[in-house]
């Protein structure tokens, strides 16, 4: 993750910070104190970032993503995060961050996680992460809505899959 962290911090106008899921006792202490999970360097609550990139390295770790969102006061389902489609995407005005997943497990089969992530980055993070950061920045400057940002990511950044734009049927079609 150090390489990906560096790739993003090399993009002009981008702040990439890190956060880690705390042990269950610390997670419980955060909840009791009414504090949200925060970033390591900046100490900003995760809900104040435009984008959260969550790696899923193995299937059993997927529930950690849900706990991370819960500890950050970020709704777990992308549907709950969508908000008002007429408003520009802006976390400082009440929008939730765009939450996306990546990693080997996601690339192999993102569908089990489709309800929880706004989009997936499939493929090599070193290439796709800077492109995601630039596209989100461009969309924010244009005043696009959350859904419009997701459309632009899907159209303009290779390897981006946005589950809300597809319907999955029980037969796999």
pLDDT digits over 90-124, tens only? 999 999 999 999 998 999 999 999 999 999 999 88
pLDDT (0 to 100) of residue 87:
94
| 0.85 exceeded by pTM | yes
Instruction: Compute the distance between CA of residue 148 and CA of residue 127 in angstroms, rounded to an integer.
Output: 22
Both structure tokens of 67: 């706990």
For strands 119-121 and 160-161, give the pairing. antiparallel
- Picking from 106, 102, 172, 109, the residue whose alpha carbon sits closest to that of residue 132 is 102
pLDDT (0 to 100) of residue 77:
96
Both structure tokens of 88: 């520009």
| Exposure on the CB side of residue 136, measured as CA atoms within 13 A | 27
| Phi, psi angle pair for 49, to nearest 5° | -90, 150
Per-residue pLDDT of 9-60, as tens digits, reads 899 999 999 999 999 999 999 999 999 999 999 999 999 999 999 999 888 8
Rounded to the nearest 10 degrees, how much is the dihedral formed by the CA atoms of 115, 117, 120, 126?
-160
Q: Are 157 and 135 in contact (CB under 8 A)?
A: yes
């Amino acid at each position: 993750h150090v390489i990906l962290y560096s790739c993003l911090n090399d993009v002009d106008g981008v702040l990439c910070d890190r956060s880690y899921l705390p042990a269950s006792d610390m997670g419980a202490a955060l909840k009791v104190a009414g504090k949200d999970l925060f970033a390591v360097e900046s100490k900003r609550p995760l809900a104040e970032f435009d984008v959260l990139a969550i790696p899923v390295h193995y299937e059993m770790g997927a529930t950690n993503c849900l706990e991370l969102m819960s500890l950050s006061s970020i709704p777990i389902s992308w549907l709950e995060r969508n908000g008002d489609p007429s408003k520009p995407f802006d976390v400082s005005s009440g929008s939730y961050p765009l939450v996306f997943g990546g990693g080997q497990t996601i690339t192999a089969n993102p569908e089990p996680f489709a309800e929880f992530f706004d989009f997936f980055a499939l493929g090599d993070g070193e290439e796709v992460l800077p492109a995601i950061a630039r596209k989100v920045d461009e969309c924010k400057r244009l005043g696009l809505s959350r859904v419009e940002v997701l459309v632009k990511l899907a159209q303009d950044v290779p390897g981006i899959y946005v589950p809300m734009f597809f319907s999955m049927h029980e037969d796999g079609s």
